[in-house]
Amino acid sequence: MQLLDLTIRQIHEGLKSKKFTSQEITKAYIEQIKKNDGIIGAYLSLTEDLALEQAKKADIEIEKNNEFPLLTGVPFAVKDAILVEGKIATAGSKILENYVSPYDATVIEKLKREGAVILGKTNLDEFAMGASTENSAFKITKNPHDTSRVAGGSSGGSAASVASNEAVFSLGSDTGGSIRLPASFCGVVGLNPTYGAVSRYGLIALASSLDQIGPFAKNVEDCKIVFKVISGKDKKDATNQNYNFEDSNLKLNGLKIGIPKEYFQEGIDKNVEKVVKDAIKKAEDAGAKITEISLPNSQYAIACYYIIVPSEASANLARYDGIKYGFSEKSAKDLLEVYLKSRGKGLGREPQRRIMLGTYALSSGYYDAYYKKAQEVRELIKKDFVNAFLKVDLIFSPVAPFTAFKVGEKANDPLSMYLVDMYTSAVKLAGLPALSLPAGKADGLPVGLQIIGNYFEESKILSVAEELENLL
Amino acid sequence: MISKEEVIHIAKLARLELTDEDIVNMQKDMSAILDYFEILKKAKTSNSKDQILQLENVLREDEVLLKRSSLAGDLVKLAPERKEEHIKVKQIL
């Protein structure tokens, strides 16, 4: 039996019937990471001691009890922007290179309570700013399907860890596409939950009106198992909603699926379009009713997004001041120099660019033209989706206009990197949930189908994705 | 096109020390991105206030939560400059 190919449920059954132990499976994953990750670069740090200790504890639980949670003893990876107590959390930045997390994020606390095993922390674009992980201050994560290409970003390490069998599942965060895009590029399932469905307590903030934590997994069922555990009310995140996930048995037969015409226009790669359209055809063959819909304001999503995110980021990143924690420039002579030099040297190009854009957009005289305008446009984008969901149950679209691009291809052109999020950012501005489902390959590289649902209707997305997964 | 002086001014507001080379690159990148934002002028927004995201305040009780006693020390330990259990900063006045 190939331990590394097993899904969460298969591992659970195996542990239950004593076919193997959590320690065995954890060691198999650690071995795979040590053997394979030199090429892929999914991890920034391993938490081997913690993993082995948790696996041992899980095995004791399993020995004692006949019934135990599905995630007990299951090894997973964590985006390095999510805090694990006592472990380094860099957020992919030099400024946090030696930052030791003083507490657990709520999602980590929940997964620990289930008995899941933490393998390590995964690579990301610095402060989750990017679409390729090339903005990481430490390394570039390669695409497991073709190592000359990017894994996507910003949660590239989390996606690649699952795609290369270096974790059973992983956690990432999505601000504009950072879960769905790498999931699409790496050929794994990735879920961006509704804004407010999962607590962000312990997630290093990028843009607080958009950030959400979500899972990557080998299949839809695994994704659902993890989402069920991490979602729900947490007093420590004021935006978090009282949300109880209930399984849906929604089927493709009779389902109304909206296809936004604007998401199949100029810019989309023909072969990617074909894979997505074939998937839509399969849904139609299974009884779904396909309706063309219009999301006319989505054309403004990127511009709107890149005003709102830098504005919020410029405020969120003000905390990195060389005083409280993180890198501090020793040569500074006075307090102002501590700020200027620590931030000048400690932050990479993309965070600096966004802090500058945000500071500019929020500065006196420009606020109305940029930030206020963007908020108004955001409302239009949201209304498009609200109107669409009056007519359809789910919306299908591509995740990205193309497959994984070459390392270096867009690295020096920030605007072309921003445009990668053209099909994912509008969904975020509206605060909606969406999943990337592997739909097939174009020119040998994975293509994701984006399944967008109405607010807090992850159960519908997951139910339909599970049915479609078996048809593709 | 954003001017070099504007870039320097914004960097000062943002508390970022940029090298001369950084300033040149930033001027180029910001100008391209700000030009792209022009597309928003086409969006048919009405200027009314009720259009802006309806956000509501979320309030909670101000209560003392029990935390492990070592947490305060661990937080202070993260500071780059310390004196005993205090965070040290440069002289301000």
Q: Which residue of B has its CA nearest to A241?
A: B58
Which of A239, A352, A372 should be substituted to probe chain B, the one whose Cβ sees the most B Cβ atoms within 10 Å? A352
Q: Which residue of B has its CA nearest to A240?
A: B58
Would you say A117 and A74 are in contact if contact means Cβ atoms under 8 Å apart? Answer: yes
Q: What pLDDT is recorded for position B56?
A: 78
Interface contact B51-A334, CB threshold 8 A:
no
The catalytically annotated residue of A101, A136, A154, A158 is A154
Would you say B17 and A344 are in contact if contact means Cβ atoms under 8 Å apart? Answer: yes
The catalytically annotated residue of A22, A79, A142, A298 is A79
Which of A109, A199, A235, A376 should be substituted to probe chain B, the one whose Cβ sees the most B Cβ atoms within 10 Å? A376
Which architecture, in CATH terms, is A3-230?
Answer: Alpha-Beta Complex (3.90)
| Dihedral over Cα of A436, A437, A440, A445: its sign | positive
Chain A residues with CB under 8 Å of B37 CB are 303, 306-307, 370
Q: What pLDDT is recorded for position B52?
A: 54
Interface contact A379-B87, CB threshold 8 A:
no
Of B40, B53, B92, the CB nearest to A379: B53
How many pairs of residues across A and B have Cβ atoms under 8 Å apart?
Answer: 142
Would you say A399 and A152 are in contact if contact means Cβ atoms under 8 Å apart? Answer: no
Which of A200, A308, A359, A383 should be substituted to probe chain B, the one whose Cβ sees the most B Cβ atoms within 10 Å? A359
Q: What pLDDT is recorded for position A243?
A: 84
Q: Which residue of B has its CA nearest to A332?
A: B90
Interface contact A325-B14, CB threshold 8 A:
no
Q: What average pLDDT does this structure show over B30-41?
A: 95
Q: Is A178 a catalytic residue?
A: yes
Look at residue B55 and tell me whether its pLDDT is greater than 90: no
**Phi-psi category of A191—alpha, beta or left, where left has phi over 0 and alpha has psi -120 to 50?**
beta
Residue A143 one-letter amino acid: N
Return d(Cα B31, Cα B44) in angstroms, integer.
Answer: 24
Domain boundaries, chain A: 3-230
Which of A181, A246, A223 lies closest to A428, judged by CA?
Answer: A181
Query: Cα angle at A230 between A132 and A174, to 5 degrees?
Result: 25
Q: What pLDDT is recorded for position A266?
A: 80
Q: What pLDDT is recorded for position B49?
A: 57
Interface contact B51-A325, CB threshold 8 A:
no
Q: Which residue of A has its CA nearest to B19?
A: A344
Of B58, B87, B90, the CB nearest to A324: B87
Interface contact A332-B91, CB threshold 8 A:
no
Chain A residues with CB under 8 Å of B6 CB are 360
Per residue of chain A (472 residues), what is the pLDDT tens digit? 599 999 999 999 999 999 999 999 999 999 999 999 999 999 999 999 999 999 999 999 999 998 999 999 999 999 999 999 999 999 999 999 999 999 999 999 999 999 999 999 999 999 999 999 999 999 999 999 999 999 999 999 999 999 999 999 999 999 999 999 999 999 999 999 999 999 999 999 999 999 999 999 999 999 999 999 999 999 899 998 888 888 898 999 999 999 999 999 888 999 999 999 999 999 999 999 999 999 999 999 999 999 999 999 999 999 999 999 999 999 999 999 999 999 999 999 999 999 999 999 999 899 999 999 999 999 999 999 999 999 999 999 999 999 999 999 998 898 889 999 999 999 999 999 999 999 999 999 999 999 999 999 999 999 999 999 999 9
State how far residue A89 is from chain B, nearest Cα, in angstroms: 12
Interface contact A373-B40, CB threshold 8 A:
yes
Instruction: Tell me if ipTM is over 0.95.
Output: no
Local structure of residue A261 (DSSP, 8 states): G
Interface contact B22-A352, CB threshold 8 A:
yes
Q: Which residue of B has its CA nearest to A328?
A: B80
Return d(Cα A343, Cα A321) in angstroms, integer.
Answer: 7
Q: What pLDDT is recorded for position A288?
A: 98
Round the average pLDDT of chain B to a whole number and report it. 89
Of A238, A335, A352, the CB nearest to B16: A352
Q: Is A154 a catalytic residue?
A: yes
Local structure of residue A331 (DSSP, 8 states): T
Q: Domains, chain B, ranges and CATH?
A: 4-42 (1.10.20)
Q: Is A101 a catalytic residue?
A: no
Of A102, A357, A373, the CB nearest to B74: A102
Q: What pLDDT is recorded for position B54?
A: 61
Structural tokens at position B91? 């002289």
What residues have CB less than 8 Å from B50, skipping those under 6 apart? none
Chain A residues with CB under 8 Å of B90 CB are 332-335, 337-338
Q: What average pLDDT does this structure show over B59-68?
A: 87
Which of A342, A242, A115 lies closest to B15, judged by CA?
Answer: A342
Of B2, B10, B32, the CB nearest to A359: B10
Of B16, B30, B34, the CB nearest to A343: B16
Query: Cα angle at A466 between A276 and A441, to 5 degrees?
Result: 30
The side-by-side arrangement of strands in the sheet containing A445-452 is A43-46, A117-122, A75-79, A169-174, A212-217, A189-192, A434-442, A445-452, A394-398, A256-260, A289-293
Note which residues in 51-90 of chain B have CB less than 8 A from chain A.
Answer: 51-53, 58, 60, 71, 74-75, 78-81, 87, 89-90
Q: Which residue of B has its CA nearest to A339?
A: B15
